[in-house]
Structure formats: C-alpha cells, structure tokens
Amino acid sequence: MSNINGGSFFLRWVTAVTVTMILAVMGAFISMWSVGEMVAQAWGEMAGGIVAGGIFGALLSAGLGLGQAIVLRAQGIPFAQWLARTALTGAVGMAFGFALAFGLFDLDNMPQMAAGLMIALSVGLPVGLVQWSLLKPYLAQAQLWPLVCIAAFLVAFAVGLPLGGEGREWLSVGVVALLTAVLSGAGMVWLARGGATAVAA
C-alpha cells in the first residue's frame, strides 16, 4: 500500500466510513425489527431475532465495508470483494450473535455492555478475519487487523449505545459510526507505521 501513513488517508477513511455507517445503520434500525416481527409471527421469536440480527449485521457491515472500500480501492484492494465479503460475514455473524443472545438474555433488558460485547464479537471478529484475508498480500502485519476491528466495535458501541433513547437515535448512531471510523482508521495507520509495509502492489 502507498500513502497510507499520511493524514489525508486517515481523514478520507474517517469521513467515508462515518457517513456510510450512519446511513446503513439507520436503514438497519428502520427495517430489521419490522421484518423480524413478520418472521416471528410466522416461525417464532427465535427465527425473528435471527432474521433481525442478520439484517442488522448485513447493513452495519455493508456500511462499514463500503466506506473502507472507497478508500482502499486506491491501494489496490478489490472493491467488490471487500464489500461483498464484509457484508455477508457481518450478516452471518450477527445472526449467530442474536441467536446466542436469545438463549442467554431477555433482549429487551439486555445490559448495554453485554450488547456491545456481543456486537464486537459477532461482527468485529468475523469481519476482521475476512478482511485480514484480503489485506495480508498488502500489509505485513495484517493478522492484527481482527483485533483492531474488535476493539473499534467494542469501544464504539460501549460509548454509543448508552446515548440512545427516544429521539436520540441519531446521536447514538453518529457516535458509534464516528468512533468505529476513527479507531479502525487509526488502527490501519498504526499497522502501516509499525512495520506493516507493502508486500505486494
């Protein structure tokens, strides 16, 4: 990769990821529960929760991946593969996370820290792993990227979720998107500066 250490790369990353994540997550909140409720009426609450989780994970990850792909395509990362794999992996991971959460918690009263940890592991880990597979020809220390993703999601949702509530959805989503963008962007720059130099063009 080239020019990844510059401040312009970080600024473009934060801007792109924040905007695409906000739009995607708001779309997820609008659609996931309405579709999930229809599925729940037909096949039960567990099925509805899994579908809602899959929709949320797909749109959340698509928003994340789209912003990242816009910036990374200039570095040679395949745009379509990055976006498609990120969205698909996030959908599967979040569906699994919702299924697990149904067995452990009352979702209406799920502790916010537990919700943040669940999202970080259900989305951050699998998305980080699939993105690592695309980054490793370009970054020598790409194996650390999954840890960056987990940390970014965990901090973003731990801070952003408590800010939500009636009439404050945009604030919560905005904080989550901005923190995810800032932390993941800082992690990418840190990997490059820490000896994670280009190994392929």
| Per-residue pLDDT tens digits for 129-165 | 999 999 998 888 899 999 999 999 999 999 998 887 7
Most confidently modeled of 26-30, 108-112, 162-166, 187-191? 187-191
Task: Give the residue with greater pLDDT, 74 vs 145.
Answer: 145
Residue-level pLDDT at 196: 43
Residue-level pLDDT at 104: 66
Domain borders along the chain are: 7-193
Structure tokens at 158: 């731990």
Residues in contact with 53: Cβ distance below 8 Å, sequence separation at least 6, in sequence order = 32, 94, 95, 96, 97, 98, 99, 122
Closest CA to 14 of 156, 168, 159, 196: 156
